Structure 1
Amino acid sequence: MTTLFIKNMVCNRCIMVVQKELDALGLDVNNIKLGEVVLTNGCSAKEKRKLEEVLNTLGFELINDKKGRTIEKIKNVVIDLVHYQDNEVKTNLSEVLRSKLHHDYNYLSNLFSEVEGTTIEKYFIAQKIEKVKELLVYDELSLSEIAFRLNYSSVGYLSNQFKKVTGLSPSHFKKIREDRRKPLDEV
């Protein structure tokens, strides 16, 4: 079995697109998840080059270095936690990353800052704000429910953080209803 790491896989549609391309190339997939593909029989250098070409045209990228793989794993854990788990995990982010990636949080934090030029915490906040925007646009939950769902200690704290990041209050954002959401790979 061979594991490939792929940058910019941020949602279930990304998984479907990558799966389709792997199938088209005749590669046997054992498992696929955000940022990671396990091939049952591996792939030749020629197949890997072809896959890399196809992925690049779709906005994805094969990651060949250890640092890059670790950064992508951090991002995928944060994205999964915020966007797909409804932030159900009640432990702190450092504990979640430490347990899922089996590395000391200080190592992960320093590596992330070195490579990305921002902190894990700021990346986490940016993802949470994007989720808040999404929930505001859907207009199904009150701001209190959104704050609770995303583990904010209060509506006031969520509002302050939202305004600090976007320059708008949540209510103003909701009123203008502009789609100011960024693709997750650009956050």
Structure 2
Amino acid sequence: MNAVIHIKNMVCPRCIEAVKKSLNEANVGFEGVVLGEVQLKRPLDKEQKANLSSLLKSKGFELLEDKTSAIISNIKGLIVEQIHYTEQPLKVNFSTFLSEKLHKDYSSLSKLFSSVESITIEKFITSQKIERVKELLFYNQLTLSQIAHAMNYSSVAHLSAQFKKETGLSPSQFKKQKKPLRKPLDTI
């Protein structure tokens, strides 16, 4: 009998490896680990859950107990994965993407997310996109036009306007900084 558990702050490939290590340390059998979610071979007993929770907490993760937290974690995980780790831009908008992936009506997902996180899903998406743009600007391998295309912006002007609104700097001002301020994914 399989079970699924959800883990908060699992937002990158290194996080997945850290969670796998914790699962192995806790002798918890698992079939797969993706951002925010672990497919277990069998449900955890009380002792395993406490042990795993402690191991995860020591590494900056949190075992999510309630369904609402799990849904929020899934929303964030899907957005982060799509923006930071997927090469191909979405062929549909994020609302359709999230609805299809989570098998829930987008308006209910949006209301739930806003009530728990105190920001909208759209604002979260924008903040993730801006952090990704910062990363791409920092590595200086793509032109602003290429970044705008890769991040699915309608134009360089749209990207620049949103970037300035979020950071207070234009993309070129950001690039000129000696130490660009970027936020770790697990704090966004």
Q: TM-score w.r.t. structure 1 length?
A: 0.97
2:85 and 2:159 map into 1 onto residues whose CA distance is: 19
Aligned position for 1:161 = 162
For structure 2, the residue ranges without an aligned partner over 5 or more in a row are: none
Q: SS of the residue aligned with 2:157?
A: helix
Deviation at 1:101, TM superposition (A): 0.6
Q: SS of the residue aligned with 2:27?
A: coil
Opposite residue 144 of structure 1, the aligned amino acid is S
Contact residue 9 and residue 35 of structure 1 kept, 8 A = yes
Q: TM-score w.r.t. structure 2 length?
A: 0.96
Opposite residue 139 of structure 2, the aligned amino acid is Y
Deviation at 1:90, TM superposition (A): 2.3
Opposite residue 158 of structure 2, the aligned amino acid is Y
Contact residue 10 and residue 79 of structure 1 kept, 8 A = yes
Pairs within 5 Å for 1:2-151: 2-86=3-87, 88-151=89-152
2:166 and 2:7 map into 1 onto residues whose CA distance is: 28
Contact residue 87 and residue 151 of structure 1 kept, 8 A = no
Question: Matched residue pairs, number?
Answer: 187
Q: SS of the residue aligned with 2:7?
A: strand
For structure 1, the residue ranges without an aligned partner over 5 or more in a row are: none
Deviation at 1:87, TM superposition (A): 5.2
Contact residue 148 and residue 156 of structure 2 kept, 8 A = yes
Contact residue 137 and residue 177 of structure 1 kept, 8 A = no
Moved over 2 A (4+): none
Aligned position for 1:181 = 182
Deviation at 1:43, TM superposition (A): 2.4
Deviation at 1:51, TM superposition (A): 0.7
2:128 and 2:97 map into 1 onto residues whose CA distance is: 16
Deviation at 1:42, TM superposition (A): 2.9
Q: Deviations over 1:126-170 (max 9, x none)?
A: 000000000001110000000000000000110010010001110
2:150 and 2:57 map into 1 onto residues whose CA distance is: 35
RMSD (Å), alpha carbons: 1.0
Opposite residue 17 of structure 1, the aligned amino acid is A
Contact residue 174 and residue 180 of structure 2 kept, 8 A = no
1:149 and 1:134 map into 2 onto residues whose CA distance is: 13
Contact residue 5 and residue 37 of structure 1 kept, 8 A = yes
